[in-house]
């Protein structure tokens, strides 16, 4: 931790899952202080993507948005929270509703919903989808919402992925199709072909930032959540989120909302347009030289944009 970075504290919170006979915990980290006496700024809860891509890469927001308190956490089955490898492939267990319940448990457990001035939520990718699910419930204390590279509908997202995939080199497309048809998506050739897509639409920085790589490494250690809820790649989604959509519920989001994405993002403008059309108080900023990870590709403008919106 650099001398200018805010101090942080780590903690865990019990999360009861009725269908399990083992205790579960959600790991979280708080940058700064949640005490309204010590810090008058509204805290920001940051939700990581995936599903199954832990919060390591979101850690850059703590120092970037100081002195605002920032909370990151690892969703169940991810990072330092409880892992459940025995549930690999259990599509009745790994649902968006499970992780929404965990989010609501965390908000209550660390007292965000009772803090004077409330709290803000920023969600990236899948985390943005989860944040939108949270917002439509009109939770007590939620003040503002930031959706970063978050599609409003997975069917719409997959339509857009097909367009992006069609622009890949023909030989790369052939490798992807071959291994998906043969169910050999765990092969080295398939992973190398996926990387070609990722370098165009996931992160334009080569090599990928250390924090982002640490999150990616967790999928290698335990792919349970990503493979069960998503699938083997961003564009071959065969898990429990494949039919997910919040389009019909978007008008229920009543808090001021900021939409962010990159010009080269896998979350194209079309995937986020329903949020722009359906939310009453909404702003939209696109980073011209970024893809899915503008917080790394255009950090100064990203941080200034988020901080400015939250301070309004």
What is the per-residue pLDDT for 191? Answer: 87
Contact 79, 51 (CB under 8 A): no
Q: Is residue 224 part of a domain?
A: yes
Q: Is residue 120 part of a domain?
A: yes
Q: Is residue 194 part of a domain?
A: yes
What is the per-residue pLDDT for 3? Answer: 42
What is the per-residue pLDDT for 1? Answer: 40
Q: Is residue 3 part of a domain?
A: no
Cβ neighbours around 204 below 10 Å, total: 20
pTM over 0.85: yes
What is the per-residue pLDDT for 5? Answer: 66
Which residues partner with 284 through β-bridges?
259
Domain count for the chain, please give it: 1
What is the rounded distance in angstroms from the CA atom of residue 96 to the CA atom of residue 83?
Answer: 17
Q: Is residue 104 part of a domain?
A: yes
Contact 235, 198 (CB under 8 A): no
Q: Is residue 72 part of a domain?
A: yes
Q: So which residues are the catalytic ones?
A: 125, 265, 292
What is the per-residue pLDDT for 35? Answer: 81
Residue 162 backbone dihedrals phi, psi, to 5 degrees:
-60, -40
CATH number, domain at 267?
Answer: 3.40.50.1820
What is the rounded distance in angstroms from the CA atom of residue 2 to the CA atom of residue 272?
Answer: 36
What is the per-residue pLDDT for 147? Answer: 98
What is the rounded distance in angstroms from the CA atom of residue 108 to the CA atom of residue 195?
Answer: 39
Q: Is residue 268 part of a domain?
A: yes
DSSP state of 6: P
Determine the 3-state secondary structure of 120 from DSSP: strand
Domain span holding position 37: 8-311
- Which residue numbers in the chain have pLDDT < 50? 1-3
DSSP state of 59: G
Determine the 3-state secondary structure of 158 from DSSP: helix
């Amino acid at each position: 931790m650099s001398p200018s970075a805010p101090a942080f504290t780590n903690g865990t919170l019990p999360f009861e899952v009725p269908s399990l006979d083992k205790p579960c915990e959600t790991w979280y980290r708080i940058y700064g202080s949640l005490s309204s006496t010590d810090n008058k700024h509204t805290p920001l809860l940051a939700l990581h993507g995936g599903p199954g891509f832990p919060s390591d890469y979101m850690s850059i927001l703590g120092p970037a948005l100081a002195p605002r308190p920032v909370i990151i956490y690892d969703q169940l089955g991810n990072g330092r929270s409880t892992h459940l490898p025995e549930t690999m492939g259990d599509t009745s267990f790994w649902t968006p509703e499970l992780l929404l319940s965990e989010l609501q448990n965390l908000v209550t457990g660390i007292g965000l919903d009772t803090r004077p001035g409330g709290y803000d939520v920023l969600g990236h990718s899948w985390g943005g989808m989860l944040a939108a699910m949270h917002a439509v419930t009109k939770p007590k204390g939620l003040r503002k919402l930031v959706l970063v590279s978050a599609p409003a509908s997975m069917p719409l997202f997959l339509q857009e992925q097909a367009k992006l995939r069609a622009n890949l080199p023909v030989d790369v497309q052939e490798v992807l199709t071959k291994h998906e048809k043969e169910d050999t998506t765990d092969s080295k050739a398939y992973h190398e072909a996926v990387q070609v897509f990722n370098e165009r639409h996931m992160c334009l920085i080569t090599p990928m930032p250390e924090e982002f790589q640490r999150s990616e490494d967790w999928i290698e250690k335990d792919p349970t959540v990503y493979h069960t809820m998503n699938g083997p790649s961003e564009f071959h989604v065969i898990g429990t989120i494949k039919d997910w959509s919040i389009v019909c519920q978007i008008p229920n989001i009543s808090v001021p909302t900021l939409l962010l994405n990159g010009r080269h993002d896998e979350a194209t403008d079309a995937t986020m347009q329903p949020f722009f059309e359906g939310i009453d108080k909404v702003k939209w900023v696109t980073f011209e030289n970024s893809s899915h990870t503008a917080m790394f590709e255009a950090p100064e403008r990203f941080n200034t944009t988020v901080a400015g919106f939250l301070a309004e």
